Structure 1
Amino acid sequence: MRRVLCYDTTLRDGTQAEDISLTTEDKLRIALKLDELGLAYIEGGWPGSNPTDKRFFQEIQNYHLKYASIAAFGSTHNHRVTAETDPNLKALVDSGAPVVTIFGKSWDIHVTEALGTTLPRNLELVGDSLAYLRQHFREVFFDAEHFFDGYKANPDYALSVLRRAKEAGADVLVLCDTNGGTLPVEFRAIMSAVAAALPEARFGIHTHNDSGVAVANSLEAVELGAVQVQGTVNGYGERCGNANLCTIIPSLILKCGIDCLPEGKLPLLTPTAHFVSEMVNQQPPSNQPYVGDGAFAHKGGVHVSAVVKNPLTYEHVTPESVGNARRVLLSDLSGQSNILYKAREFGFELDKNDPFVLELLTTIKEREALGYEYTAAEASYELLLNRVLGRARSYFTVTRYRVLDDNVYESDEPLTEATVMIKVGGRVKHTASTGRGPINALDKAIRKALRGFYPRLAEMRLLDFKVRVLSGTVEDEQCGRGVCGTASHVRVLVESGDTAKRWVTVGVSHNVIEASFQAMEDAINYKLFSDDKEKLTKALKG
């Protein structure tokens, strides 16, 4: 089987994305995770440009990597000095990395205007830099920056840069679509011409996604003989991002029959993508191919019915092959197949003719028409399912609650007080609490009332809170009939967690406090419900 080497530049090019910044510790943790996935090369950064990258190269030497080689990144030497006296090249040598990648100009306009030197002098910079680095590194790669634009402007000069790099000892000539503007048709023509002009060279590819074709061009390059593919996890990178390795890798393995990871490592792809997104504090797109939460999510009833019979009907690969999972969503588009599938996930084998199925389907559609969203709030759906089936215990009943804000303008913030009356097993608890805003005050008052009955609620925490205004036609005295934002329904999603797991619940109302209260009430009920299931499971095993 043909093998292509994946070169990850998340720690360098990926950090040039808007809103992404990594500490040395972050970079070390990501590097270890990428090595676990089995990538061939991990570009650690530019040691001559900043202290964070310099420290990374020092610290990474304390770890044993099983699969990946660490690469240092830099540029050709300054045209006013020699390669031997250039501080940037010295920093690369001092990094201790076994592999080095340097970029050089291959577009004539960049040579004369950006570098401010001559075309012949630029060839000297490329050749002298690579020849110097060749003495100090196991492998040396040359990134021909702006190559495709350079070739379109002056093909003879762009090719002369590659020839000089090869003569100076570059192991791989990496063709860069730095501006991301080359479309697949012209990309294929240029790459084919280059391969014909330098038949003995080994090529790599580095594309950006400004035209939305970075992955397509990378796959095209591999088909045309590229031995190395550069990219980033989740496609992070400057402007519109880099080629997404999370799409390229499974496409090569599952569709092209090209090996680029060690045996058995592909199922680690989705966990790795999610780990990196957490480290860079970015929410990964749900619709990201292969690794997105929605990559194998099915919502339409017709789709779900077919997938239950044969997943190939609506899935181009198996979700397990890339470490993902099939999800069946619930909405007003749901059919009986959705209900049956989700019930099976929660341990219920229902028949399609069971009247509970029709009741549950009708209830979901009615509630989603009001704005409830069970696609995201699966904990609320599991509670609803068990209530319709008559299998949900009533843990408590809130008979009344009240929230008061006392705003003293000389103070820093208003004082919020919540009062609740809750019935538990025939006993009524009447409690009050202050808090930082109405939601916090309500949460504290409810917990105060319930903690004597359910001590394990102390484990539960509110982790995230999202409010969305639902557009639609409403009646309002001031607005009349029409769209009025302040009178609209709002949907609140609350994410909660304990020591074992996380869950999301939903509430909907014209009143944001009421919607929040519904979601919090469901969250507490789900915690108690889950604890009961856990006790039952342990009892059955015992």
Structure 2
Amino acid sequence: MKTIKIYDTTLRDGTQSEEINLTVQDKIRITKKLDELGVHYIEGGWPGSNSTDKEFFEEITNYHLENARVSAFGSTHNTRVKPENDPNLAALVDCGAKVVTLFGKSWDFHATNALGVSLERNIELISNSIGFMRKHVEELFFDAEHFFDGFKDNPEFTLACLKAAHDAGSDVLVLCDTNGGALPEEVAEACKIVLSKIPGSKIGIHTHNDCELAVANALTAVTNGAVQVQGTINGYGERCGNANLCSIIPNLELKMGFNAIGKDNLIKLKSASNYVTEIANLRPFLRQPYVGAAAFAHKGGVHVSAVMKNSKSYEHIDPLLVGNDRRVLLSDLSGKSNILYKAKQFGYNLDKNDPAVRTILADIKERESIGFEYSAAEASFELLFFKAMGWSKRYFEFINFFVVDAKRKEDNEPFSEATVIVKVHGQENHTAASGDGPVNALDKALRKALEPFYPSLKDVRLLDFKVRVLTGAIRDTEGTSSNVRLLIESSDGKSQWTTMGVSNNIIEASWQALVDSINYKLFKDDPQKWPNSM
């Protein structure tokens, strides 16, 4: 089985994405995770361009990597100096990387207009730079910047650039779709011509996603002779992003018969995707193929019924192969199959004619008619399910809450305070708390009232909340009088869960979601939660 080398450039190209900024320690953590995933090369950055990347190469020498080699990135030498006097090339040598990728112009337009040199001089820059670096590294790659644009306009010049790099000692000639405008058929033709015109050469592919074709173009290159694929985790990158390795790798492994990181490592793919997302401080892309939370989520009752019989009916692969999970969602589209599937997850083998199934379906449809959406709040559904199965324990009794939100001066921040009265084990507890906004104040006051009785609630944190105004058929009102749906994401440091509330009053919706969040935590921790123990 042919091996395709995976070259990750998340730490360099990925950081050019809007909203992404990584510290040295962030880059070290991601490097270790990518090494665990089994990628072959990790591009650490451009040590000649900024202090963060320079520090990264100094720090990474303190770590042993099992699978990956760290690559440094830089450009061909300055037109005004010789390569041995170029500070950029000197920085590449000094960083100690055993693998280096140099990029150079391969589009005549860029050579003459951006770089301001003749075509002959541009070819000299490539040859001289590759020849200089060849003496200092174990592996050397040439990124032909704007290759596909250059190949369209002046293929003779572009091929001459690649031949100069090859003759000077480049191990792989990487064809770059820098502007992201190439089509798969153009990629296929170019790969074939390069390999025929430069005998003995090896080619790689580096694509951008401006036409939503980065993954398709990368896979096309592989089927036409490319032995190295460059890309980023989750497709992060400048403009519309780079080729997404989280799609490329499983396609190579599971669909095309190539070896990339190996089947044993493939099951780590979703975990790696989520890890990089967290380090980058971004929200996961729900519908990302293979590794997204919705990639194997089923909502329609007909789909779920078929999947329960044979998952191949609506899944192109087993989600476990990439470390993902099958999810069945609940909504007013749900049929009995959805309920039976969820029941099985909770340890109940229900019959489709069980009265509890009809009860749950009726509750879902009634609640969703006013705006509840259980596919987005599975913790709230789990509570609903167990109530239908007979769970009736109340961890606390609501008496009263009172929320004040005031602004006393034009330039001052608003002041929020909440008062909560609850009864626990027959004892009434009256507490108050201030917070950053009414929801935060209410959350603090509620947990303050309950923590003396349930110490584990000290571990619970509200991670995020989202508010959506519901209009249309849900209420015959508009604007500020409409119902709102409020989602709260909570965590106890071990797991995360989402709960929901719906009301035309945002504080009441918040209260519903907060109460469900607290009840869910207490329910999961309760050794006597099961109905037959009540």
TM-score, reference length from structure 2: 0.96
Partners of 1:57 and 1:97 within 8 A in 2? yes
Structure 2 distance, partners of 1:461, 1:184, is 47
Which residue number in structure 1 is paired with residue 92 of structure 2? 92
What secondary structure is seen at the aligned counterpart in 1 of 2:366? helix
User: Which moved further from structure 2: 455-464 or 53-62?
Assistant: 455-464
Which residue number in structure 2 is paired with residue 228 of structure 1? 228
Partners of 1:383 and 1:392 within 8 A in 2? no
Structure 1 distance, partners of 2:155, 2:436, is 65
Which residue number in structure 2 is paired with residue 502 of structure 1? 496
Superposed CA offset, 1:7-36 (max 9, x none):
000000111111111111111110111011
Superposed CA offset, 1:74-123 (max 9, x none):
01111111111111111111110000100111110000000000000011
What secondary structure is seen at the aligned counterpart in 2 of 1:289? coil
Structure 2 distance, partners of 1:115, 1:534, is 73
Which residue number in structure 2 is paired with residue 478 of structure 1? none
Partners of 1:74 and 1:92 within 8 A in 2? yes
User: Which moved further from structure 2: 352-361 or 415-424?
Assistant: 415-424
1:368-383 to structure 2, matched below 5 A, reads: 368-383=368-383
Which residue number in structure 2 is paired with residue 196 of structure 1? 196
Partners of 1:123 and 1:164 within 8 A in 2? yes
Superposed CA offset, 1:43-63 (max 9, x none):
100000000000111111111
User: Which moved further from structure 2: 488-497 or 517-526?
Assistant: 488-497
Deviation at 1:473, TM superposition (A): 5.3
Deviation at 1:436, TM superposition (A): 3.5
Is it true that 1:512 corresponds to 2:506 in the alignment?
yes
Superposed CA offset, 1:440-490 (max 9, x none):
332233233333332322222222221111232587xxxxx66x2211111
What secondary structure is seen at the aligned counterpart in 2 of 1:423? strand
Which residue number in structure 1 is paired with residue 312 of structure 2? 312
Which residue number in structure 1 is paired with residue 166 of structure 2? 166
Structure 1 distance, partners of 2:433, 2:468, is 27
Structure 2 distance, partners of 1:514, 1:209, is 44
Structure 1 distance, partners of 2:58, 2:430, is 60
Deviation at 1:378, TM superposition (A): 1.1
Partners of 1:423 and 1:429 within 8 A in 2? yes
User: CA 1:71 to 1:465, structure 2 compared with 1: closer, same or farther past 3 Å?
Assistant: same
TM-score, reference length from structure 1: 0.95
Partners of 1:416 and 1:437 within 8 A in 2? yes
Which residue number in structure 1 is paired with residue 110 of structure 2? 110
Deviation at 1:262, TM superposition (A): 4.0
Deviation at 1:345, TM superposition (A): 1.1
What secondary structure is seen at the aligned counterpart in 2 of 1:225? coil
Deviation at 1:411, TM superposition (A): 8.2
User: CA 1:129 to 1:435, structure 2 compared with 1: closer, same or farther past 3 Å?
Assistant: closer
Which residue number in structure 1 is paired with residue 403 of structure 2? 403
| Match for residue 488 of structure 1 among 474, 479, 482 | 482
Partners of 2:204 and 2:230 within 8 A in 1? yes
Which residue number in structure 2 is paired with residue 21 of structure 1? 21
1:338-487 to structure 2, matched below 5 A, reads: 338-409=338-409, 412-472=412-472, 484-487=478-481
Which residue number in structure 1 is paired with residue 251 of structure 2? 251
Which residue number in structure 2 is paired with residue 330 of structure 1? 330
What secondary structure is seen at the aligned counterpart in 1 of 2:526? helix
Partners of 1:328 and 1:338 within 8 A in 2? yes
User: CA 1:448 to 1:130, structure 2 compared with 1: closer, same or farther past 3 Å?
Assistant: closer
Structure 1 distance, partners of 2:190, 2:16, is 28
Superposed CA offset, 1:223-264 (max 9, x none):
011110000000011111110111000000101110011451
Partners of 1:459 and 1:498 within 8 A in 2? yes
Partners of 2:391 and 2:529 within 8 A in 1? no
Superposed CA offset, 1:188-239 (max 9, x none):
2222222222232110000111001010011011001111000000001111
User: Which moved further from structure 2: 123-132 or 276-285?
Assistant: 276-285
User: CA 1:207 to 1:499, structure 2 compared with 1: closer, same or farther past 3 Å?
Assistant: closer
Structure 2 distance, partners of 1:442, 1:72, is 51
Give the letter aligned to residue 213 of structure 1: L
Structure 2 distance, partners of 1:102, 1:324, is 36
Structure 1 distance, partners of 2:448, 2:56, is 48
In structure 2, the gaps of 5 or more residues are none
Give the letter aligned to residue 250 of structure 1: P
Which residue number in structure 1 is paired with residue 36 of structure 2? 36
User: CA 1:65 to 1:338, structure 2 compared with 1: closer, same or farther past 3 Å?
Assistant: same
Structure 1 distance, partners of 2:52, 2:15, is 12
User: CA 1:410 to 1:220, structure 2 compared with 1: closer, same or farther past 3 Å?
Assistant: closer
1:129-208 to structure 2, matched below 5 A, reads: 129-208=129-208
Partners of 1:472 and 1:488 within 8 A in 2? no
What secondary structure is seen at the aligned counterpart in 2 of 1:325? coil
Aligned residues: 532
What secondary structure is seen at the aligned counterpart in 2 of 1:109? helix
Structure 2 distance, partners of 1:219, 1:102, is 23
Partners of 2:370 and 2:474 within 8 A in 1? no
Partners of 2:36 and 2:66 within 8 A in 1? yes
Give the letter aligned to residue 465 of structure 1: F
Superposed CA offset, 1:403-423 (max 9, x none):
233432278334433333323
Sequence identity percentage: 60
User: CA 1:133 to 1:487, structure 2 compared with 1: closer, same or farther past 3 Å?
Assistant: same
Which residue number in structure 2 is paired with residue 527 of structure 1? 521
User: CA 1:499 to 1:172, structure 2 compared with 1: closer, same or farther past 3 Å?
Assistant: closer
Deviation at 1:366, TM superposition (A): 1.4
Give the letter aligned to residue 481 of structure 2: A
Partners of 2:523 and 2:529 within 8 A in 1? no
